[in-house]
Structure 1
Amino acid sequence: MKRSQRRLLMPLGIAGITALALTACVGDDAGSGGGGSDGEAADCSLYEDYGTFDGAEVNIYGTILDAEADRLNESWADFESCTGIDVVYEGSAEFEAQINVRVQGGNPPDLAIFPQPGLLASVAGTGSLLPAPESVQANAQEFWSEDWQNYGTVDGTLYGAPLMASVKGFVWYSPSVFEENGWEIPTTLDELDDLTATIAESTDDTGVVPWCVGFGSGEATGWPGTDWVEDYVLRTAGADVYDQWTSHEIPFDDPQIVDAMDRVGDLILNPDYVNGGIGDVSTIATTDFGEAGLPVLDGTCAMHHQASFYEGFWSDDNSVPVAEDGDVWAFLLPSEDGSNTVTGGGEFVGAFSDAEEVVAVQTYLSSDLWANNRVSLGGVISANNGLDPENASSALLTSAVEILQDPDTTFRFDGSDIMPGAVGTGTFWTGMVNWVGGESTESVLSTIESSWP
C-alpha cells in the first residue's frame, strides 16, 4: 500500500501536542482564510499546521439541515482543499434519537455535533465518546470562556469544544409594519403584554395577528416551546431560581415555574393572539419552527419569538434585509430590570475516533479561524472570543456576538439542553406539545417533574 502523506508537527490526538502547534497559523489572520465561497484559491498557510492527508475522509453527524448545512460545508471547504481531508457531513432531524442508536449499533460517526450538553453528557456516560484531544483542550482554554468549557465537560473531563452559539429570546418583527401602525418596541414584559393586546384589538382592521408560533421539529418537536418557558423563568424568577430549576434543586413544578409558564400561555394560548398567517392555537404543535416566522414577512403576523440563528431562515440566500429599516428586525425579550439577561444555545463537537485526520478536523472546528470563516458566511454567530463581531452578517448578529462577549451579560444556557436527556429532550419537549393541545400547566409540569431521573 502506498503510505499516505501526512505533514504533522507531531501526531495529532497523542499527548504532547501544544496549543501553539495548531493555532499559530491563525493569529491576526483569523477570518481571512475564507470558506471557499469566493472562488479564489485558498490561503493554505493558514491551514498548514493541521497536516496534509492523502485521500482521508472524516464523517460528521449533526442536526444542521438545508441552507445551514450548505454553509457548514462551505466553512471547511478551504480546510479540505489544503489538508486533503474530505469532510462528509450528514444532517438529521432525528439526531437526538439516532445518535444513541448508531452508538449502540457500533456505527458511530467520527464526529458528532451535539446540540445539547445534556445529550453529550449522556453519550459520554456510555464510555463511547472520547475525551477531547490536547489540541482541542488548548483551543477551548484559549477561545472559550470557562462557562462554555464547562458545558462540554463531564465529571471534570472535556469531551466537546463549543462550535456555534445563539442568543435566544429575540422577538422578530417587520419594522415597516410596526411603523405603519405606530407600535412601539416594549421595554418590559408588561409593555409586551400591552403591545400584544393592542395588536389583537386592531386585527380586524390591519389583518395582523400578534404572534406566529411553531413547535414542529421532527423528532425534536416541542423544543421551541421550552425556549419560551426558559426565557420567562430567567426574566421573572431570576438567574438563581433558573439555576436551581435546571439542576433540580427545586421541583420542576415549583410555583415560580408555574407562574412563568402561565405568563407564556397568556400570549400563545390565547386564540386572539395566535397563529398569524397559519391557523389557530392547535397549529402550533404541527407548524415547523423554520417556517413559523415567515408570516412576519407578508404582514399577517406581527411577532415571532426565536433565537438569533433564525436570521438564516428568512431566505436561503441572505436576500431578505435584516436591519432596523429592513424587511425584518428583532428586539430582545425584555427583562424586568432592563439588564442584558439572555438564554442561549450552542453545539459541541465530540469524537468517537482519535484518528489523526479526525483530530485535525475537530481541532479546526474549535479554533477562531473556523469561527470567523463560518460567521462570515452569514446567519449564525459563535461565542468564540477570537471572533470579530464585524464578521457577522447583520447588525443584529453583530450585537448578539457583543452580548455574548460582554462580561456584564447574565447568560444562561438553554435549560432543556443541560437537563438530563429524559427530561430536557424528552418529557419537556412532549409536555410543551401536550400543553398547546389543551393540557393544563400544572399537569404538564407535574408530569415532567415525575420523570426526572
Structure 2
Amino acid sequence: MRSRVNRRLIAGIAAAGVGVLALTACTGDIADDGGEVDCAPYEQYGTFDGANVTIAGTILDLEADNLVKSWSDFEKCTGIKINYQGTSEFEAQIAVLAEGGNAPDIGIVPQPGLLARLAAGGWLIPASKAVEDNVDEWWSEDWKKYGTIDGTFYAAPLMASIKGYVWYSPSEFEDKGYEIPTTLDELTSLSEKIAAEGDHKPWCVGLESGEATGWPGTDWIEDFVLRQAGADVYDQWVTHEIPFNDPAIVKAFDSVGEYLKNPDMVNGGIGDVSTQISEAFQTAGLPILDGECSLHHQASFYETFWNPNGDEGNVVAPDGDVFAFLLPPVNVDDPQAVTGGGEFPVAFRDAEEVEAVRAYLSSDTWANNRVSLGGVISANKGLDSDNASSELLKQSIEILQDPDTTFRFDGSDLMPGAVGADSFWKGIVAWVGGQSTQQTVDAIEASWPTS
C-alpha cells in the first residue's frame, strides 16, 4: 500500500455535482521552466491539438509535484494537457465515481485487488497494444500479471516500492556499537538491547492513514509471513488457498506482536502502545532524527518523508543522517525475499490521447524521467539505477531487477478489497488496541468473500 496522506487536501472533484473527494490538484504549469525541449523521445505518441486528460490517484504533495514534472515535456511535445488530482480517499471512492460516470480518464490504482474490483464492475478500458508492447519489453511477467484480470490486460505498472526496510541512524549505530542484524533473532536481540539501555523505546510506529489506517501494520505481517513461512505459503495465503487464520499466519502475528504490542518496544518519541493508531505513518519515523527511537519499519518510498519540506537537510546514506537495512531473514543463508508495492494506471475513457498518456507512463523514458527527479523507484527494466536519488533507492532498483530476488507484491493489495482494504486494516487496529491474535485472524477470515 502506497497511500500518500496529508491533511493538505484542498479541492473537490469537478464532476457533475459530485463532491465526494477532497483533492490536491496539480497541473503541468509547475514544471514549465520555459526551456527548450527535445521532442524526439515523444514523437511516437503523436500530436494532439487541445486534448485534455484527467488523472487521479493517492499520490500527494512533493511526490505529486514530481509526478507532474515527469510528464511536462510529454505535454509540450504532444499537445496533451494533463490535470492530476490526488486524494487520500481515492481508493474508497473511485468505484463510486466510476459507477456514477464521474471517474477520471486515468486512475492510478495502488492495489491489484482494487483493479480487479473495477474490472469486475465493467468500468475499465483494456490497455492498448502500445501499452502492452511496452510492458512486454520493459517489465517482468510477474508485474504484467498484476495488471491482468481474467486474461484481459488492463494496466501497466508505474512506480514500485520495496517494503520491509528498517530505518535507523548510522551515527547512533556507530556511537553505540550496534550491528546491522542478519537474522530475525538478531533483530530481536538488538531491540531488547536498546530497550534495556533505557534511553528510549527502540521502535517508533505510525499506523494512521485516514480511511486506510492500519495498512502499515499489514506490511509487518506480510514481511514476517514471507520470511518465516516462505513464498509458497505466502501465495496460498493471499489467494485464500489456506485460511487467514492458518497457524503460519498466527505465528507471524504473534512475532510482530512482540514488537507492536509490547510497551517496552514502542512507541519511541511518541507515546504508549496506543499512539501507534493515532500517529500518521508519514511522521512516525522522524523521532529517529532526534534520538527518541532507533528503528522504524517502512518502505523505500519513506525516503521522501525524511525531508518533509522538500529540502535536502537530512541525508539518506550509509554515513548520513538516516539509512535503512532490509528486515533480515530467519537464517543468514536464506535467499533474499522482499515484499513490495506499486501502482497501475487504469483507463476509464476510451480515447487515443488517454492511451498515449498510458503508453508514455509504461515506457523506460518515463521511468528514467521520474526517478531522476528523486524519491521513488520503478521495476522497469529500462531504468538506469544511477538515476536514483540516493544509495538506498539505487540498491532498491537493483534488488527489483535482480532475477534471483524472491519478490512478492504486498499481500493486502492482492487480496479482495473486503479483506485487503478493509478487514485486514481494521483488524490491525483492533489487534494493536488489545484484541487477541486469534480473535483478529478469525474475524478477518470470516470477512473473506465466498465468491
TM-score normalised to structure 2 length: 0.91
- Alignment partner, residue 26 of structure 2: none
Shift, 1:37, TM fit: 8.2
Pick one of 425, 433, 439 that aligns with 2:435. 439
Q: Distance in 2 between matches of 1:288 and 1:209?
A: 18
Shift, 1:36, TM fit: 5.1
Pick one of 264, 269, 277 that aligns with 2:269. 277
Aligned residues of 1:63 and 1:94 also touching (Cα < 8 A): yes
Q: Aligned ranges for residues 158-197 of structure 1 at < 5 Å?
A: 158-197=153-192
CA distance 1:37–1:198, change in 2 (3 Å): farther
Q: Aligned ranges for residues 20-169 of structure 1 at < 5 Å?
A: 40-169=35-164
Residues 1:226 and 2:218 are matched in the alignment: yes
Q: Distance in 2 between matches of 1:400 and 1:169?
A: 11
Q: 1:135-167 CA distances to partner (integer Å, 9 max, x unpaired)?
A: 101111111100000001000111110000001
Residues 1:362 and 2:354 are matched in the alignment: no
Q: Distance in 2 between matches of 1:175 and 1:235?
A: 25
Pick one of 282, 302, 309 that aligns with 2:301. 309
Shift, 1:41, TM fit: 2.0
> What secondary structure is seen at the aligned counterpart in 1 of 2:367?
helix
- Alignment partner, residue 393 of structure 2: 397
Shift, 1:427, TM fit: 0.3
Aligned residues of 2:99 and 2:123 also touching (Cα < 8 A): no
Q: Distance in 2 between matches of 1:45 and 1:345?
A: 32
Shift, 1:243, TM fit: 0.7
Aligned residues of 1:318 and 1:378 also touching (Cα < 8 A): no
Q: 1:53-112 CA distances to partner (integer Å, 9 max, x unpaired)?
A: 222111101000111111111111111111121111111101111101101111011000
Number of residue pairs aligned between Structure 1 and Structure 2: 416
Residues 1:202 and 2:197 are matched in the alignment: yes
Structure 1 stretch 311-320 or stretch 369-378: which is displaced more? 311-320
Q: Distance in 2 between matches of 1:337 and 1:178?
A: 22
Pick one of 323, 327, 331 that aligns with 2:321. 327
Shift, 1:40, TM fit: 3.6
The one-letter amino acid of 1:391's match is N
Pick one of 204, 212, 226 that aligns with 1:212. 204
The one-letter amino acid of 2:230's match is G
Aligned residues of 2:371 and 2:377 also touching (Cα < 8 A): yes
> What secondary structure is seen at the aligned counterpart in 1 of 2:95?
helix
Shift, 1:317, TM fit: 2.3
- Alignment partner, residue 29 of structure 1: none
Structure 1 stretch 396-405 or stretch 207-216: which is displaced more? 207-216
Aligned residues of 1:116 and 1:347 also touching (Cα < 8 A): yes
The one-letter amino acid of 1:329's match is F
Aligned residues of 1:36 and 1:42 also touching (Cα < 8 A): no
> What secondary structure is seen at the aligned counterpart in 2 of 1:289?
coil
Residues 1:452 and 2:444 are matched in the alignment: no
Q: Runs of 5+ in structure 1 lacking a partner?
A: 1-34
Q: Distance in 1 between matches of 2:134 and 2:182?
A: 38
The one-letter amino acid of 1:323's match is A
> What secondary structure is seen at the aligned counterpart in 2 of 1:103?
helix
Shift, 1:51, TM fit: 1.5
- Alignment partner, residue 260 of structure 1: 252
Residues 1:286 and 2:296 are matched in the alignment: no
Q: Distance in 1 between matches of 2:254 and 2:32?
A: 46
Identity of aligned residues (%): 66
Q: Distance in 2 between matches of 1:180 and 1:112?
A: 47
> What secondary structure is seen at the aligned counterpart in 1 of 2:377?
coil
Q: 1:323-363 CA distances to partner (integer Å, 9 max, x unpaired)?
A: 00000000000012332110000001100112111111111
Aligned residues of 1:312 and 1:318 also touching (Cα < 8 A): no
Aligned residues of 2:204 and 2:287 also touching (Cα < 8 A): yes
Residues 1:420 and 2:413 are matched in the alignment: no
> What secondary structure is seen at the aligned counterpart in 2 of 1:302?
coil
RMSD: 1.2
Residues 1:408 and 2:404 are matched in the alignment: yes
Q: Runs of 5+ in structure 2 lacking a partner?
A: 1-29
The one-letter amino acid of 1:159's match is Y
Residues 1:297 and 2:289 are matched in the alignment: yes
- Alignment partner, residue 340 of structure 1: 336
CA distance 1:135–1:262, change in 2 (3 Å): same
The one-letter amino acid of 2:206's match is G
- Alignment partner, residue 241 of structure 1: 233
